Amino acid sequence: MRRIAVQAGDFDVAAELAALEALGGGGVASFTGIVRGDGGLIALELEHYPAMTQAQIGRIVDAAMTRWPLLGVHVIHRVGRLEPGARIVFVGTASRHRTAALESCAFLIDWLKADAPFWKKEHFADGASHWVAARAEDDSKARGWGG
Amino acid sequence: MLTVVYFAWVREAVGCDEEQVDRPAAGASVADLVTMLATRGGGYADAFADASRLRAAIDQRFVPLDTAIGDAREVALFPPVTGG
């Protein structure tokens, strides 16, 4: 009922959703994050803290499962070099109720952005590259869930 | 000895992703370690001169920089996270 994966390869959204649908709840919600090709971006490079990432995502999932009555949670985060249009992250939740599925999905992606050990570096067509700066807005969005 | 690991631009500035450093004095915090690393100059000074740009983890748990290192095995230093 919980699946957490940190991987270089792509994932199959339909298969993830089907697994969540099979849990017998009345509702499944999901979020898929995609690399945007803004401003001549040719690739995103995602670095993470391998010894910590899985456990830290587990703590975020624990918090969601404590707060909402969830039948299942799937979190998949890719690492390595990703080009525009590539999927980066998937969060899927299954519950007997739509509010729990939708709210927990939003909670999970907000906390993944603010509190999981990933760092993005942007590479541009002109050869420039730089580390993405964290946005205070992402942090306050996560904290906005309270408790 | 204490294992210190670096990520993102901190890793690039210091030029390695992991190293062993002399264990700081008893009671020292992560911020004290950062101050000590900054005195090495070069890329270390670039990475560690301004502690407000840094975040930390002790033994794979996020901690504020004023947390005591105690008998931790691993301290990680990195910029604010940007996943998702």
The 3-class SS string of chain A reads CEEEEEECCCCCHHHHHHHHHCCCCCEEEEEEEECCCHHHEEEEEEEECHHHHHHHHHHHHHHHHHHCCEEEEEEEEECEEECCCCEEEEEEEEECCHHHHHHHHHHHHHHHHHHCCEEEEEEECCCCEEECCCCHHHHHHHHCCCC
Interchain CB distance below 8 Å, A116 and B78: no
Mean pLDDT of the A105-120 span: 97
Give tens-digit pLDDT for A52-83.
999 999 999 999 999 999 999 999 999 999 99
Interchain CB distance below 8 Å, B81 and A116: yes
Farthest CA pair distance, chain B? 37
Interchain CB distance below 8 Å, A119 and B81: yes
Q: Compute the count of residue pairs across chains A and B with CB atoms less than 8 Å apart.
A: 75
According to the model, what pLDDT value does residue A146 have? 85
Q: Which two tokens stand for residue B47?
A: 């990475």
Residue A147 — pLDDT band, cuts 50, 70, 90?
low
Give tens-digit pLDDT for A85-106.
999 999 999 999 999 999 999 9
Question: Which of the residues in chain B have pLDDT under 70?
Answer: none
Residue A120's domain comprises 2-143
**CATH architecture, domain defined by B2-78:** Roll (3.10)
CA B82, CA B84: separation in Å to the nearest integer? 7
According to the model, what pLDDT value does residue B16 have? 97
Domain count for chain A, please give it.
Answer: 1
- B27 to chain A, any CB pair closer than 8 A? The answer is no
Task: State the ipTM, two decimals.
Answer: 0.96
CATH number at residue A13: 3.90.1170.40
Q: Which two tokens stand for residue B2?
A: 């204490």
- A117 to chain B, any CB pair closer than 8 A? The answer is yes
Give tens-digit pLDDT for B2-24.
999 999 999 999 999 999 999 99
The SS3 assignment for A86 reads coil
Mean pLDDT of the A103-124 span: 97
Contact A96, A104 (CB under 8 A): no
Give tens-digit pLDDT for A8-49.
999 999 999 999 999 999 999 999 999 999 889 999 999 999
- A55 to chain B, any CB pair closer than 8 A? The answer is yes
Interchain CB distance below 8 Å, A117 and B9: no
Prediction pTM value: 0.96
According to the model, what pLDDT value does residue B36 have? 96
Interchain CB distance below 8 Å, A113 and B83: yes
